[in-house]
Amino acid sequence: MNNNVKAVRAYRRNLSIALGLILLVFVLIPVFVKSPYVLNVFVLIFYMSTLSMAWNLLGGMTGQNSLGHAAYMGLGAYASCLLITKAGANPWLSALFAMVAVGLVAGVIFYPCFILRGPYFTLVSIAFGEAMRQFIINSSFFGRASGVGLPFGKDSLLDFRFMSKVPYYYVGLVMLLGIYLLMKKIERSRMGYALRTIREDEDAAAAIGINPTKYKVMAVVVSAMVAALVGFFYASYIRYIDPELMVQAKSTESVLPAVVGGAAYVEGPLVGGLIMIPLSEFLRAHFSAMLPGINMLMYAVVLITVIRFRPTGILGWYMHSKAKDFIDVKVLKKPPIEVLEAVELEKNRGKEA
């Protein structure tokens, strides 16, 4: 037993060192990389992956394929921008307001919609996104099609306003990590198990005492709140928003990192975002001048290839690959799962006693 405990501790230590190193690389990137363009790509990765994590809570974990996440993001951006420009509120407070408001809107609108199952929910989410966009285009309060700009001024953390991209890089990174930890926590909680049970079978969920509607509404509210936070971040970074933010293509973009990375995993959107967004930017920068649209075509080919040959995503492949076995056993020195389990049980018994 004692050897087992040691082995588990060694594995935990190796794992934290590995994760710590990866984190350190991300923290140090702005120190060495000075190109604003490259930093911009990273900021893009951070907020798009966060948006994709929001989608993944609903799409990957609950099995409700939403195609309206750009609308939540857009509404979050509008709610915070209008509060800042019209009422002069502090941006950080307006972010909180935006999250609560968008969460409420999503909850109220989707509560009756969850009587619908499967593809019908997806259709409603598309309609929701388009309806919101049309509403904003036609409302003078929301600035119609010309959008809303945020005031420029001196750099200030309080006003979340900077000339340089580096502060946005770090705030984006913190947002990404915070939302990742939140999703990880949800996955292992009662709510996470309820959502995955609903994804697999709603009747089976009801049989063990899960109210499917209640948990689906919880998922959509949390998901919309996270998307609203991303909207606030986007607005503060770009400093100008317009209804184009909410077009259907943007919703699809929020789905891609999760699907390519592996929608069954909380880490899926991170892996997918890290690969797909630089790829998309690279194709745009290098090929779009040759033939208009060629970059989109190449992007589509990559996407179709991944979905055709790795339908469970990159992580779905990695989790059952030799590469993972190699890294687990040789690099991290992971003990067999029985040992991990025995040590965990022992530790819990100790806690209870």
Partner 1 sequence: MANTPIIEVQHITKRFKGLTAVKDVSFSIREGGITGMIGPNGAGKSTTFNMICGYYPPTEGRIFFRGQDITSKKAYDYTNMKIARTFQIMKPLKNLSVLENVVASCYFGHAAAKNEHEARERAIDILQFTGLYEKRHILSKDMGTPDQKRLEMARALATKPELLFLDENMAGLNPAETEAAIELIRQINQSGVTIFLIEHIMQAVVSLCESVIVLHHGEKIAEGTPGQVMNDPYVMEVYLGTKGGAAYA
Residues found near partner 1 in the complex (CB under 8 A): 188-190, 193-194, 196-197, 200-201, 203-212, 264, 337, 344-345, 348, 351
Is 61 or 81 the residue whose CB approaches partner 1 more closely?
61
CB of residue 342 to partner 1, shortest distance in Å: 11
Separation of alpha carbons 267 and 265, rounded Å: 5
Closest separation between CB of residue 348 and partner 1, Å? 4
Q: State phi, psi for 68 to the nearest 5 degrees.
A: -130, 20
Strand, coil or helix: what is 89?
A: coil
Q: How far is the CB of 323 from partner 1 (least distance, A)?
A: 20
Residue ranges of the alpha helices (H) in the chain? Answer: 2-32, 36-56, 69-87, 91-113, 119-137, 166-188, 190-200, 202-207, 212-238, 248-261, 268-287, 294-309, 313-318, 322-326, 337-352
CB atoms near residue 99 (< 10 Å):
24
| Least Å from the CB of residue 344 to partner 1 | 8
The rounded distance, in Å, linking the Cα atoms of 250 and 52 is: 11
Output 147 or 212, the one with its CB closest to partner 1.
212
- Cβ proximity to partner 1: between 200 and 292 the closer is 200
Q: Locate tokens 């077009």: which residue?
A: 247
- The nearest distance, CB 63 to partner 1, in angstroms, is 10
HEC string of 123-189? Answer: HHHHHHHHHHHHHHHCCCCCCHHHCEECCCCCCECCCCECCCCHHHHHHHHHHHHHHHHHHHHHHHC
Q: Which is nearer to partner 1, 144 or 188 (CB)?
A: 188
Least distance to partner 1, CB of residue 75, Å: 31
Whole-angstrom Cα distance, residue 69 to residue 252? 8
Cβ distance to partner 1 smaller for residue 233 or 265: 265
Q: What is the DSSP letter of 88?
A: -
Q: Which is nearer to partner 1, 194 or 271 (CB)?
A: 194
| Alpha-carbon dihedral sign for residues 14, 268, 273, 275 | positive
Of 2 and 203, nearer to partner 1 (C-beta) is 203
Cβ 347 to partner 1, closest distance in Å?
9
Bridge partners for 241 per DSSP? 148
